[in-house]
């Protein structure tokens, strides 16, 4: 649950930063367009007719440890890994009758999925932190090129008007999605950690009353399993929503950049934003879209309520609490796998978009410099 709070905060911080960068680019782009239109009315030097040489677009290379972590993340987020996961669950189910559907049989998969989930959450948190730092380095290069382009255009055209303020309107969401967003904000803030601390303290306090028996130990596992399962649904929903909003802004920026180049005779280009066309990636995206839908989150809540009712009918016996532990652990582990997949796809898309934007800035700088030559 601590990992869940950390991952939500990472996602929200990264999304905010991406939107801020998009606003900065939009603000300068308006001035770029105005100054390029003024530049197009000026006498065009003869040498500017020749083909413009654009420097190669090279972003920083990640170190060896980073590449190893990326490889681990890519393998864990691969669709074959997800299929293999469910095959393992099927094997476990097949042994249920042989082991008499005993408590030990339940604990085998509960222990395995819990250990796997902790490892996956650690990998995901590590990759998000590293990728955010890497993207910040790439963003700094883009912003530096964008600033250089603005400075160059102002020198050539004599324009002194300030950049307009750019804003990005919040997307319209329904009541269900709004409730999901509220819960995500709650989990990702200090208040969420405080609530978790209160629960842990209460669990410790009732330990002597319950004589620290098996039910007492299962109690915190039940809470963690049910809340963790819900957090898994919410995290996947949040990841998909943020990625789509960011893709919309950057795709629009790339499209408008083509128009900027065309103003001064550049190639508007047929270059498209990076598209993921591999079959396994398309399948992963489709699976992620389904699992991140707001109604899927609602379905998860319904399952949690059903599990609680089942355990209540069984008077919260050991078996009742095991039922509240095992299915949520299996589902949460699955959602963590596809959360890694969603992060990997979003990170690759963001890098590709930044490269395209960076290249367009370098090309515009080269063309504008030809006016000054």
pLDDT of residue 370: 77
DSSP characters over 261-295: HHHTT-----PPPP----HHHHHHHHHHHHHTSHH
> Tens digits of per-residue pLDDT, 119-159?
999 999 999 999 999 999 999 999 999 999 999 999 988 88
Q: Is residue 233 part of a domain?
A: yes
pLDDT of residue 79: 86
Q: What is the mean pLDDT of residues 249-275?
A: 73
Is the Cβ–Cβ distance between 225 and 308 less than 8 Å? Answer: no
Q: Is residue 172 part of a domain?
A: yes
* Residue recorded with tokens 């809470």: 223
Is the Cβ–Cβ distance between 276 and 282 less than 8 Å? Answer: yes
Q: Is residue 48 part of a domain?
A: no
pLDDT of residue 56: 64
> Tens digits of per-residue pLDDT, 305-330?
999 999 999 988 888 888 898 999 99
Residue 299 has pLDDT above 90, yes or no: yes
Residue 268 has pLDDT above 60, yes or no: no
pLDDT of residue 274: 46
3-state SS assignment for residue 177? helix
pLDDT of residue 276: 47
Q: Is residue 76 part of a domain?
A: yes
Is the Cβ–Cβ distance between 129 and 349 less than 8 Å? Answer: no
Q: Is residue 304 part of a domain?
A: yes
pTM: 0.86
Neighbouring C-alpha atoms within 13 Å toward the C-beta of 186: 11
* Residue recorded with tokens 């002597």: 208
> Tens digits of per-residue pLDDT, 180-224?
999 998 888 878 888 888 999 999 999 999 888 888 888 888 898
Residue 366 has pLDDT above 90, yes or no: no
pLDDT of residue 266: 64
Is the Cβ–Cβ distance between 369 and 152 less than 8 Å? Answer: yes
Rounded Cα gap, residues 61 and 50, in angstroms? 33
> Tens digits of per-residue pLDDT, 43-85?
665 554 455 555 666 788 888 888 999 999 999 988 899 999 9
Q: Is residue 146 part of a domain?
A: yes
Domain carrying residue 259: 2-38+57-372
- The rounded mean pLDDT for the chain is 87
Q: Is residue 258 part of a domain?
A: yes
Q: Is residue 248 part of a domain?
A: yes
Q: What is the DSSP letter of 49?
A: G
The domain total for the chain is 1
Rounded Cα gap, residues 211 and 201, in angstroms? 16
């Amino acid at each position: 649950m601590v990992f869940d709070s950390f991952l939500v905060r990472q996602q929200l911080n990264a999304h905010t930063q991406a939107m801020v960068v998009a606003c900065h680019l939009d603000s300068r782009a308006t001035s770029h367009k105005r100054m390029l239109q003024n530049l197009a009315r000026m006498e065009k030097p003869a040498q500017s007719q020749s083909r413009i040489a654009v420097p190669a677009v090279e972003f920083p290379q990640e170190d060896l440890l980073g590449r190893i972590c990326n490889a681990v993340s890519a393998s864990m987020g691969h669709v074959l890994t997800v299929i293999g996961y469910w095959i393992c669950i099927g094997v476990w189910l097949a042994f249920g009758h042989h082991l008499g559907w005993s408590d030990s049989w339940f604990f085998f998969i509960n222990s395995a999925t819990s250990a796997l989930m902790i490892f996956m959450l650690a990998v995901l948190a590590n990759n998000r932190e590293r990728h955010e730092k890497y993207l910040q380095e790439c963003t700094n290069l883009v912003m530096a090129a964008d600033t250089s382009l603005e400075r160059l255009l102002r020198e050539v055209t004599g324009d002194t008007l300030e950049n307009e303020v750019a804003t990005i309107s919040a997307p319209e969401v329904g009541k269900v999605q709004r409730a999901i967003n509220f819960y995500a904000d709650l989990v990702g803030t200090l208040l969420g950690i405080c609530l978790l601390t209160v629960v842990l303290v209460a669990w410790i306090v009732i330990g002597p009353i319950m004589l620290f028996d098996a039910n007492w130990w299962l109690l915190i596992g039940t809470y963690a399993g049910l809340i963790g399962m819900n957090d898994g649904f919410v995290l996947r929903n949040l990841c998909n929503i943020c990625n789509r909003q960011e893709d919309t802004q950057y795709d629009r920026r790339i499209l408008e950049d083509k128009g900027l180049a065309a103003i001064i005779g550049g190639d508007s280009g047929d270059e498209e934003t990076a598209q993921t066309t591999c079959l396994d990636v398309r399948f992963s995206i489709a699976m992620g879209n389904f699992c991140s839908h707001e109604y899927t989150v609602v379905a998860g809540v319904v399952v949690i309520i059903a599990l609680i009712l089942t355990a209540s009918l069984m008077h919260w016996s050991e078996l009742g609490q095991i039922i509240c532990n095992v299915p949520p652990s299996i589902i949460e582990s699955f959602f963590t796998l596809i959360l890694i997949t969603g992060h990997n796809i979003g990170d690759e898309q963001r890098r590709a978009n930044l490269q395209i934007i960076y290249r367009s800035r370098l090309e515009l700088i080269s063309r504008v410099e030809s006016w000054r030559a």
